[in-house]
Amino acid sequence: MPEVAVVHLVWAPLGPAALRRFAASYRAHAAGADHRLVVVYKGFGDARPSADHLEALDGLEHETLRYDEPTLDLPTYAFCAEALDASHLCFLNSESVLLADDWLAALLEPLHGPGVGATGATGSYERPHSVNPLRRRRWPSFPNPHLRTNAFALSRGLMREMRWPPARTKRAAWELESGRDGFTRQVWARGLRTLVVGRDGRAYAPPEWPGSATFRSGAQANLLVADNRTRQWEEADAHLRARLSRLAWGADPEAAAAQAPSGPAGRTGGPMRASGA
C-alpha cells in the first residue's frame, strides 16, 4: 500500500471536545491500512493549542500543521496537499467520528480500481435552497449527486490538479463542494468516478446512494464516518428527519436515483467490495 496521510482538521472555535471525540474513535477503530496521522490546527492565530487539545492526542503518533487563512475546509485541504509528501490523502473534518474498524482500508480500496477518482463516507443529491435564485444557477438541478467532504479520500496528484478558490463564506464552501465546478464535478470532468463507501465495505455509485443507508436514510446503519450533519439527522424528531431526508434525496428517492447522473459519460458500475469488510 502506498504511503497515505490521514488529515484531521482541528478548528479552534469548536474547542477540544470535538478533538476528544475524534481521538477516542481513532483509538477505538483500527484503520486497516498503514498511514500517517496529520493534525491541522486552524483558527488558532498566534495561540498555541490548549493543554486539553494536547491531552486529547496523548499517546497518538502524529504530525502537525497550522493554517490560519480565513477560508473554510476545502482550501485548507488544498494547502495540506501541497505541504504533505504522500501518494494518497484522506481528509476528516473537525466533526468527524470514526464508526468502524478498517475505515481507511475501505475508503482506499476502490481508488485502486479502474476509473475511480475519489471516495467518501457520505453523498447527497441536494442543491442549496437558501441562496437567491440567480446564484442557485451555479448548482446543477436536482438531483445533484456530490460527495460530502466531511470524510473523503483521493490521490494527492488529483487533489493538486483541481481548482481550489478561496472559500470564505458558507455559500462559497457549498459551491466548492457541490456546484457546477465543485469538487465532484471536477473529478467527473477528468473522466473519474466518485463513490460512497459504507460500513459494509461496499462502494456505491451515485444512483445507489439513497439506498446505501449512509446519509439520512436507512437509519444510517451503514455509515462509516459520522459528523455533525449525520448526528443532526440521528437526533431529530420524525418531522425534521423527514424534511432533511427530502432535502438530500427528494420526496421520491427511487425516482431521484433513476434520474441522477452517475458520473463521467459511459461509466456506471454497481457496488464494489472493498478489502477489510
Separation of alpha carbons 223 and 216, rounded Å? 10
Separation of alpha carbons 48 and 234, rounded Å? 34
CB 216 within 8 A of CB 235: no
Separation of alpha carbons 16 and 131, rounded Å? 32
Lowest mean pLDDT among 33-37, 174-178, 241-245: 174-178
CA-wise closest residue to 207 among 250, 151, 160, 270: 270
User: C-alpha cell of 262?
Assistant: 452517475
Q: Which domains are seen in the chain, by residue range?
A: 4-273 (3.90.550)
Q: What is the mean pLDDT of the chain?
A: 92
Separation of alpha carbons 231 and 218, rounded Å? 14
pLDDT of 136-179, one tens digit each?
Answer: 788 899 999 999 999 999 999 999 999 998 888 888 888 999 99
pLDDT of 72-111, one tens digit each?
Answer: 899 999 999 999 999 999 999 999 999 999 999 999 999 9
Whole-model pTM: value is 0.92
